[in-house]
Amino acid sequence: MDNTKQVDLVSLERRIELVESLVLWTGASVEEGSDIVGTVRDDGDTRFGIRLRAHCKEFVMLWVAVGERSTSFETFLMPYPQKNEVLVLQYLLRRNYEMTYLHSAQHRDEALYLVGRAKTSDMSSELLDTYLGAALAATEELFPTAMALGFGSSYRYRPVK
C-alpha cells in the first residue's frame, strides 16, 4: 500500500500571480510600519527577497522561491566560523531540535543559513508572515551566540537602534 500523498503541481502562471500578491502584501506591510523594510525582486519571476529590520544585526533578508510543489525560504545567518567550529555547529544543531518552520543549514558556500519549506498550494500572506516572524526570531536568538562562539573577540554584539 502506497502511503505517499500526492502534491498538486502549481502552474508557472499561478506561481507568478502568487508572487505578485505576496510582494503587494509586503509593500502594504511596509506602509503599516511593520518590521518589513522592503522587497527585492530576483531575475526570475518566482523568487523575491523581503528585508526585515532587526536588532542583532542591521537587517535580515528572507529569500522566497516559489516552486511547482514547494516554496523554499532562506536567510543568511552568519559566515562559517573562524574558530570553535564544532561548538558553533553543535549549538545550532541542538537549537534545530526546538525550532519550527526554519532550521539551520550549511550552504554550499560554507556560510550558515536558516532554511525552510512549505507546500506552494498552501502559500498565503498569513503563511509568509509566519515564516518572516520565524526568520526574525531565530536570527535574533541564534546570531549573537553563534557569532560570539565562532568569532570570539573579533565579534562584539552591537544592538541596532
Please tell me the predicted confidence (pLDDT) of residue 28: 86
Residue labelled with grid coordinates 545567518? 77
Which pLDDT belongs to residue 130? 96
- Position 157 scores a pLDDT of 67
Higher pLDDT, 139 or 30: 139
**pLDDT value of residue 5:** 67
Length of the chain: 161
Please give the domain boundaries of the chain with CATH numbers for all domains: 12-151 (3.30.1460.10)
pLDDT tens sequence across 17-74: 999 999 999 988 887 778 999 999 887 789 999 999 998 888 999 999 999 999 999 9
What's the pLDDT score for residue 104?
96
* Beta-sheet strands, E only, within 57-119: 59-66, 70-78, 103-106, 112-119
In tens, the pLDDT along 75-110 reads: 999 999 999 999 999 999 999 999 999 999 998 888
Measure the CA–CA gap between 86 and 16, rounded to whole angstroms: 41
pLDDT at residue 148 is higher than 70? yes
> Are the C-beta atoms of residues 154 and 84 closer than 8 Å to each other?
no
